[in-house]
């Protein structure tokens, strides 16, 4: 992978974890990857662990106490890899921002956004925004103003890429790609029911309920398929999205 799209695979030490694994350490599990650290979380948003940043590092992994977070709220962790920031976003709208996350002294501050308490998924979308999607559809949180913005209803799945937020519904509506500001730049595969999409480099690989797969060039919007291959798509552990 290129320098901005990297697979993390630290496995030669019990304290080093491959990105996306389910391995745990003292009840903490890998949640997100940064350039030189991994973010480990437990069931409650009362703190996170930032994994070791150097091979051979024998120091204790820094535990970040998030004392300002509600104990009983569900949460999602979002990594802005390029800016070395981590956001812990709760369903109650309380947000912890950890800046300089890979440094010896990360900085924590708290913000809030208007969320309704329902479960959601989240990812860094670029342009200062966090993409959130769930029962209320797709929207964003602007981390400069801490305001929320609705983009589209009925969204059941999404993935953030350098070329926009790819999203799909529970019906035969194909796939749409939205800019972080909410405007739609692509609408593809109309009439197909998308089940999942995976991004690698400039391409998005889209699977459908008909067990077909398409490859989409996110730069141009050109789609190819159905593809003959059903090979496993390996996604990078992190992608930098400006």
Rg of the chain's alpha carbons, rounded to an integer?
18
pLDDT tens string 14-36: 233 333 444 455 678 889 999 99
* pLDDT at residue 183, as a whole number: 97
Q: Give 45's pLDDT tier (boundaries 50, 70, 90).
A: confident
Q: What is the DSSP letter of 59?
A: S
Picking from 199, 181, 197, the residue whose alpha carbon sits closest to that of residue 189 is 197
126-147 residue pLDDT tens: 999 999 999 999 999 999 999 9
Per-domain residue ranges of the chain: 113-239
Quote the pLDDT of residue 14: 29
Phi-psi category of residue 132: left, alpha or beta, with phi > 0 → left and psi -120 to 50 → alpha = beta
Tell me whether the omega of the peptide bond preceding residue 226 falls within 30 degrees of 0, making it cis. yes
pLDDT number for residue 211: 94
Fold of 113-239: Methylamine Dehydrogenase; Chain H (2.130.10)
Residue-level pLDDT at 215? 97
Task: Express as a percent the part of the chain with pLDDT over 90.
Answer: 71
Q: Is 116 left (phi over 0), alpha (psi -120 to 50) or beta?
A: alpha
| Mean pLDDT score of the chain | 87
Please list, residue by residue across 157-178, b when 16 or more beta carbons sit within 10 angstroms of its beta carbon and e when fewer do: bbbbbbbbbbbbbeeebbbbbb
Q: What is the pTM of this model?
A: 0.87
The CA distances from residue 155 to 24, 85, 132, in Å, are 31, 27, 10
Instruction: Judge whether residue 168 has pLDDT over 90.
Output: yes
């Amino acid at each position: 992978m290129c320098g901005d799209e990297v697979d993390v695979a630290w496995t030669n030490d019990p304290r080093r974890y491959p990105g996306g694994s389910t391995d745990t350490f003292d009840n903490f599990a890998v949640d997100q990857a940064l350039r030189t650290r991994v973010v480990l979380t437990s069931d409650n948003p009362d703190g996170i662990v930032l994994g070791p940043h150097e091979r051979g590092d024998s120091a204790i992994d820094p535990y970040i106490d998030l004392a300002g977070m509600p104990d009983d709220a569900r949460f999602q962790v979002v990594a802005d890899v390029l800016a070395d920031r981590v956001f812990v976003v709760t369903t109650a709208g309380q947000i912890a921002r950890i800046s300089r996350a890979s440094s010896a002294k990360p900085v924590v501050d708290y913000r809030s956004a208007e969320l309704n308490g329902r479960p959601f998924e989240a990812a860094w979308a670029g342009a200062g925004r966090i993409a959130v999607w769930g029962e209320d559809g797709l929207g964003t949180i602007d981390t400069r103003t801490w305001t929320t913005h609705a983009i589209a209803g009925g969204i059941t799945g999404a993935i953030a890429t350098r070329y926009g937020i790819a999203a799909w519904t529970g019906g035969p509506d194909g796939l749409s790609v939205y800019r972080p500001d909410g405007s739609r730049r692509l609408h593809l595969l109309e009439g197909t029911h998308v089940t999942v999409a995976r991004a690698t480099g400039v391409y998005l690989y889209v699977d459908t309920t008909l067990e077909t797969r398409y490859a989409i060039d996110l730069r141009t919007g050109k789609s190819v398929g159905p593809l003959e291959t059903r090979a496993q798509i390996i996604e990078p552990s992190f992608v930098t999205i400006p």
